[in-house]
Amino acid sequence: MELFSSKEGLCFQQLITYPEIKINADCFSFITGKSGCGKSTYLRMLSATLSAPDGQIFYRSKPLEDYPVLDYRREVMLVPQQVFLFDGTIRENFDLFYDMREEKQPLDEDVQRFLSICCADFPLSANCATLSGGERQRVFLAIFLSAMPKVLLLDEPTAALDEQTSETLLHNLKQFCSQNNISVVCVCHNGELVRRFADQEIRLGEER
């Protein structure tokens, strides 16, 4: 089953033109290609935070614009490269995220479980201001994962991580998302990680 699709000619601001793209549901899919070919921009269009004046993107065979935006963004969540954590404890950052969504806050043991999946086994009392860039990135990802979206869009989730942590993180994510029917679309520059974990690879910017 197709999760996302767009026909050849999808264009963003007359700067980036995309080929025909089909992304499968229930897969761990990777978008790859050279810098500047539009990988992150395509993720943002999939998340409905950017729109393309030329062309159309389909989600589960329906145009993106047919979905109520807020409902769609609860179902399809983008974890951007830029980390947005407030000064305060990990627990406080989780609580704030759920407050903004007007949802019940998770139990401590559930928060700890998602942190563990994301290789962020820190005390909930740890202050986010004292964490390294890679540690903050993993806590940020754990917050999004805890919301249990149907689709998780990841923009370079291993960019600030060493090789071993990157492998463990993607292994954990792939296992958890497969078990919970969460489709993943991930932008990644690391070819070895793509070869190891991809169910599907979409290559952008190649000569045709």
What's the CATH number of domain 2-203, 3.50.50.60, 3.60.10.10, 3.40.50.360, 3.40.50.300? 3.40.50.300
Q: What is the pTM of this model?
A: 0.95
Instruction: Give the range among 3-7, 24-28, 65-69, 202-206 with minimum mean pLDDT.
Output: 202-206
3-state SS string over 85-115?
CCCCEHHHHHHHHHHHCCCCCCCHHHHHHHH
Per-residue pLDDT, averaged over 121-150, amounts to 97
pLDDT value of residue 14: 76
Compute the distance between CA of residue 15 and CA of residue 113 in angstroms, rounded to an integer.
42
Domain boundaries defined on the chain: 2-203
Asked whether residue 208 carries a pLDDT value surpassing 50, the answer given is no
Asked whether residue 132 carries a pLDDT value surpassing 50, the answer given is yes
- Listed residue (109, 159, 163) closest to 137, CA to CA: 159
Digit-coded pLDDT (tens) for 175-191: 999 999 999 999 999 99
Compute the distance between CA of residue 85 and CA of residue 96 in angstroms, rounded to an integer.
10
Digit-coded pLDDT (tens) for 62-102: 999 999 999 999 999 999 999 999 999 999 999 999 999 99
Compute the distance between CA of residue 89 and CA of residue 132 in angstroms, rounded to an integer.
14
Dig out the tokens for 145 from the structure: 């994962």
